[in-house]
Amino acid sequence: MEDNIQEFVYFSKLLEIYKDLLPLSQQKVLDYYYNFNLSLKEIAEEENISRNGVYDALNKGKENLLKYESKLHIEKSMIKIDKVLMKLKEKLNQEDYLEIEKILKEE
């Protein structure tokens, strides 16, 4: 169960990052599945395609997201940045940390 949740969260993050690189059909299916928690049947009804078509789009979309991440490493970099920010937060006072966070968000 825990692995399914982690996988769900991971692909949801990848979708947020790489969504615009996917074909529209894969974007829609992945969005319905990961962001709206719809079943394959519900997505098929919404998009007026077969359940098998949804399954194929979902799997191809997941493959594409993994391919993009393996080449670009954006999600991995975001995790590293978050870890650095957490270490900074521990070492700095609240005011300094908030100022650094504000500067990073501007960039």
**pLDDT digits 0-9 by tens, 52-89:** 999 999 999 999 999 998 898 888 878 887 788 788 77
Q: What is the pLDDT of residue 49?
A: 97
When pLDDT is averaged across residues 25-37 and rounded to a whole number, the result is: 96
pLDDT higher at 75 or 16: 16
Q: What is the pLDDT of residue 90?
A: 79
Length in residues, the chain: 107
pLDDT at 2 over 70: no
Q: What is the pLDDT of residue 97?
A: 75
Distance of alpha carbon 43 from alpha carbon 6, whole angstroms: 22
Rg (CA), the chain: 18
